[in-house]
């Protein structure tokens, strides 16, 4: 069960990364802010992979076609999912954007069962449905919170793509060196972020060079987002190597109260009593899915 504390740590780092990305989104736009995660995360990912290599005895490199397929497919899906998440946050709020992203929980269960042969128990399916209901209620606009056009579609699309990319990363990591899962996870992160950095930087240099300039100008904030992103990804990948993606995403919903606290402290956002109750319902679903 060591994957549970690993997942909680990854969720905390992910909230910090999202907050840093959102702070640079105004000048860089959603794709520029997405680039922050990958470009500034790559140096840290290389360092983390190097440390994992030094701490691992005789790691084996098995860069098979299945590894590259999972890494490339997951990289593309994650880039699109990250941009969709930032758009959802911009058009709603930090906490609600994060909550809608948690639709990745039921999507992770579905993708895992249908596409990757994960064995999901009845309790985990039930927990996924309960958590989904709580998240849907939590995401509903109330009080002073306004949902602009496209916010829900962007948030749910983000969750679906994050879930599918996570399953791709799990498959890639498991083919690399199953005997050393943490090492495999951090090397997979390094490869994926290298792909994402090259692809997205190239696209933005052609289509929107001002976004790249804005990202580089905000390098202090970008470094913080890069560090948190690389560390979070390494921990997520490690947890998903130890457990199917569905239960990991279930425990990862702990990100939601963290995001609500961050949104209140950093962006003066508040959640209503109804949303707090919906959060409690979601928590029940999380426990069911994690322990089922």
Domain ranges (residues) in the chain: 2-291
Q: What secondary structure does DSSP assign to 174-224, as a single string?
A: HHH-TT-HHHHHHHHHHHHHHHHHHHHHHHHHHH-HHHHHHHHHTHHHHHH
Do the Cβ atoms of 267 and 94 come closer than 8 Å? yes
For the stretch 148-206, pLDDT in tens is 778 888 888 998 999 999 999 999 988 887 778 889 999 999 999 999 999 999 999 99
- Which residues, 6 or more positions from 19, have their beta carbon under 8 angstroms from its beta carbon? 94, 262, 266
Distance CA 219, CA 57 (A): 36
What does the block give as tokens for 270? 């508040």
Do the Cβ atoms of 259 and 155 come closer than 8 Å? no
3-state helix, strand, coil in the chain (%, to 5): 85, 0, 15
Measure the N-to-C terminal CA separation of the chain; round to a whole number of Å.
13
- Is residue 114's pLDDT more than 90? no
Q: Would the CA dihedral through 29, 31, 32, 38 be positive or negative?
A: positive
pTM, two decimals, is 0.80
- Is residue 141's pLDDT more than 60? no
- Which residues, 6 or more positions from 187, have their beta carbon under 8 angstroms from its beta carbon? 49, 52, 53, 176, 177
Q: pLDDT confidence of 24, banded at 50, 70, 90?
A: low
Q: Mean pLDDT over residues 19-31, rounded?
A: 66
For the stretch 228-273, pLDDT in tens is 989 999 999 999 988 888 888 877 777 766 666 655 555 555 666 7
């Amino acid at each position: 069960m060591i994957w549970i504390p690993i997942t909680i740590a990854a969720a905390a780092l992910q909230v910090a990364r999202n907050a840093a990305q959102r702070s640079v989104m105004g000048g860089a736009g959603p794709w520029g802010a997405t680039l922050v995660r990958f470009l500034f995360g790559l140096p840290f990912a290389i360092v983390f992979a190097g440390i994992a290599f030094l701490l691992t005895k005789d790691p084996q490199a098995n860069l098979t076609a299945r590894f590259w397929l999972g890494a490339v497919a997951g990289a593309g899906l994650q880039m699109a999912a990250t941009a969709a998440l930032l758009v959802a946050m911009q058009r709603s709020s930090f906490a609600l954007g994060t909550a809608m992203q948690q639709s990745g929980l039921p999507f992770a269960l579905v993708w895992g069962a249908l596409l990757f042969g994960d064995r999901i128990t009845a309790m985990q399916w039930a927990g996924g449905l309960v958590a989904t209901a709580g998240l849907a209620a939590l995401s509903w606009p109330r009080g002073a919170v306004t949902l602009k056009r496209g916010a829900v579609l962007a948030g749910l699309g983000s969750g679906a793509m994050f879930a599918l990319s996570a399953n791709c990363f799990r498959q890639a990591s498991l083919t690399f060196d199953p005997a050393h899962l943490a090492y495999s996870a951090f090397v997979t992160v390094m490869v994926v972020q290298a792909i994402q950095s090259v692809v997205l930087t190239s696209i933005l240099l052609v289509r929107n060079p001002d976004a790249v300039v804005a990202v580089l100008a905000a390098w202090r904030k970008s470094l913080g987002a890069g560090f948190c992103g690389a560390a979070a990804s390494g921990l997520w990948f490690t947890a998903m190597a130890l457990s199917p993606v569905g239960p990991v995403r279930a425990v990862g919903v702990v990100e939601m109260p963290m995001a609500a606290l961050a949104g209140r402290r950093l962006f003066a956002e508040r959640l209503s009593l109804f949303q707090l109750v919906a959060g409690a319902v979601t928590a029940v679903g999380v426990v069911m899915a994690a322990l089922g």
